[in-house]
Amino acid sequence: MKHQPLLRVRDLRCAYGAREVVRGISFDLWPGEVLAVVGESGSGKSTLLNAVAARHTPSAGTVEFAVRPAAGAAASLQDIYAMTEAQRRVLARTDWGFVHQHAADGLRMNVSAGANVSERLMALGQRHYGRLREQAADWLQRVEIDPARMDDRPDTFSGGMRQRLQIARNLITAPRLVFMDEPTSGLDVSVQARLLDMLRMLTREMQLAAIVVTHDLAVARLLAQRMVVMQGGHAVEAGLTDQLLDDPQHPYTQLLVSSVLPP
């Protein structure tokens, strides 16, 4: 298991009509590894994330995931776009998570926080009400939400709480890979710090692999061991996060790094 990547992306291309916005991206992601994808708006980073997460069909290239094997069998990389829609759906709600920039896109705003958190378990066939509530309460606590708020709807929560609720909702099935699209932008800095600290701790404790799209280099430095810099649909530079930030080689990476105001 350890000798095989969790995810293998090869020469991925995405287009909207005639306009190609992801132009040949390849990378491997290993279990427990966090990869940051950085670049400015329009660089293709969110489209790349969606294509890898089976949310946007690419125009060319492959995305393979080491599907959790049946007992005894070896895990093998399987092309996610060669799977049936049903297989992809199972993957997306068990072994994967997707944290949206806007919590409203990732939560059901009209049902309780507890129902939001336990939805994936119910989809997997768990029916015991008491057990579901117990696990939901446990996860609310892990993301620092008072379990007394379990029956409240997310639209009564603050932005930071909603984002933490979204994380609990995704992690309750102990996925191995989580996709995050700008998970901290739009939050106050103090709320951001809390969320980042939590994500850092959870990825380590659960040995989660993650792909984090962000325009914030500080988020990349804090969360990710590896980084890809995108510009105009290409990966212009990729490598160790601290090496890219402290010794950027490509003119565009140098521009990004030098454009940040140090606090």
Partner 1 sequence: MSDTSPLLYMEGVHKRFVLHLQNQTVLDVLRDFSLRVLPGECVRLSGPSGMGKSTALKLAFGNYQASAGRIDMRAADGTMVDITRANPREIVQLRASAVGYVSQFLRVIPRVAAIDVVAEPLLERGPDGNPRMESAAARAEAARWLDRLRIPQSLWQLPPATFSGGEQQRINIARSFIRTRPLLLLDEPTASLDPLNTATVIELILAARAQGVGIVGIFHDPEVAAAVASRSVAMQAPSP
Map the footprint of partner 1 across residues 175-204, applying CB under 8 A: 193-194, 196-197, 200, 204
Q: Is 249 in the site for partner 1 (CB under 8 A)?
A: yes
Among left, alpha and beta (phi > 0; psi -120 to 50; other), residue 81 is: alpha
Site for partner 1 contains 232 (CB under 8 A): no
Contact between 26 and partner 1 by CB under 8 A: the answer reads no
Q: Of 56 and 221, which CB lies nearer to partner 1 in the complex structure?
A: 221
Q: Total number of residues binding partner 1 (CB under 8 A)? A: 26
Per DSSP, helices labelled H in the chain are: 45-52, 85-94, 103-106, 113-123, 129-142, 159-171, 189-205, 217-223, 241-246, 251-258
Q: 54 or 211: whose CB is closer to partner 1?
A: 211
Rounded to the nearest 5 degrees, what angle is found at the Cα of 52, between the Cα atoms of 46 and 57?
90
Q: Work out whether 258 is an interface residue with partner 1 (CB under 8 A).
A: yes
User: What are residue 26's phi and psi, to 5 degrees?
Assistant: -130, 135
Contact present, 51 and 57 (Cβ < 8 Å): yes
| Helix, strand, or coil (residue 121) | helix
- Pick the binder of partner 1 from 140, 222, 229, 236 (CB under 8 A): 222
* 247 lines the binding site for partner 1 (CB under 8 A): yes
Residue 246 binds partner 1, judged by CB under 8 A: yes
Backbone phi, psi, residue 149, to 5° = -90, 5
For residue 227, the minimal CB distance to partner 1 (Å) is: 9
Element (DSSP H or E) covering residue 60: strand 60-67
75 binds partner 1 (CB under 8 A): no
Residues in touch with partner 1 (CB under 8 A): 2, 30, 32-33, 193-194, 196-197, 200, 204, 207, 222, 225-226, 239-240, 242-243, 246-247, 249-251, 254-255, 258
